[in-house]
Structure formats: structure tokens, C-alpha cells
Amino acid sequence: MSRVQKSLHFSSYPGHASRELILIVASLSTCDPSSIFGTFELLKRYRIRCSVISLCAEVFVFKKLCSITSGRHNVVLDSTHFEVVLNEHTNPPVSSRNAESSVVRMGFPAHESIDFPSFCLCHQSEIRPPDGRGFFCPQCGARYCSLPVECRICKLTLISAPQLARSLHNLLPLPVFEEVDTTEG
């Protein structure tokens, strides 16, 4: 469990994000160098919900983990039951109404051919782009030559799906760096 605690940085996720661990175990014991119940309290403090699917038998420590973190504990009977139990975990838990969140409205305009004269809002003129193509705001129809941009008419953020995917890693902070002693071989 201490490795789980160090490797997952759930504390950096926003409050509206679901934090959940699903452990599939086939062990009748645990071997943890620190206090296992201290780790459970840490998981509870960060609101990380832990569920356990046990392949062999019910273990007190795993059942206690699930009860402390409001997770589910299941002991499977056979391969069919395992599939049913695992599929029950695919639906995300119901979020509370008081969870913090912020919504950013975005538009995903297609890169279209321009066959008629239109005013370009990024250049403030009626020039045709060199390739004869442009982006039209899906909400108000304003033309732009490139993305990403905020529409000057309706204030909708215009972005392409690949640009949004590339920017996702910038939304989460980096984990804390661990100093490594390089003098020891």
C-alpha cells in the first residue's frame, strides 16, 4: 500500500474529479513496511475511494480498507462472477452536488474550404487565406485563419481536438521531485 501511496498523486487532481482505486488481489496477507491503518487514513483524507476484488478469500485488512474509504469489497466465486463484479466497477460513482467544478465552453470548428468572400476576424480584413481554407465559429459563424483563438464575437474558445489533447498534461501539476544521491553507486 505504501507504494500505491507514493506512485499515485491523487491529491493534485481537482476537487470535482473522481479518485478511485480498484485493487484485484489474490493474497491472504499483506506485507507493508509502515502502518497500514495510517495509509488508510491518508487515503480517506484525500477522499480516494478504494475497492477490492479478492480472488481467493475475504481478508480483514482489505475489508477494512473498503469500509474506511467507502469502497466495495467483493470475493469472486468463479470467472463468470469475476467478470460481473469487474463490470460493476466500470460505472463511475455518483458525484456529490457540492463538488467544485468549472466549465469552459469550447467550440471545435472544422477546417473548411472558403468559396465566398468573408471577413477574417484575426486579420481584420477580407483577405483569403493562402490555402483557401479557414475555420468558422460553430456558434456565430465568424471566420478565423488559425486555431486556438477566442471568438471576438461570441467569446467561445475555438480549438481543435488534437490541440486540446496536447494541452491536457499542462493542466495537472508535476509530482514532487525526489532528490537522488548520485554519489552512491
pLDDT averages per 10-residue partition of the chain, 185 residues: 56 68 90 82 84 93 93 94 91 66 83 80 70 86 88 91 79 75 74
Q: Given this model, what pLDDT does residue 48 score?
A: 84
**CA distances for 78 relative to 15, 54, 84, angstroms:** 37, 11, 10
Q: Given this model, what pLDDT does residue 143 score?
A: 87
55 and 82 in contact (C-beta within 8 Å)? yes
165 and 153 in contact (C-beta within 8 Å)? no
Say what the pTM is: 0.51
Q: Given this model, what pLDDT does residue 37 score?
A: 86
Q: Given this model, what pLDDT does residue 118 score?
A: 73
DSSP code for 41: H
Q: Given this model, what pLDDT does residue 65 score?
A: 92
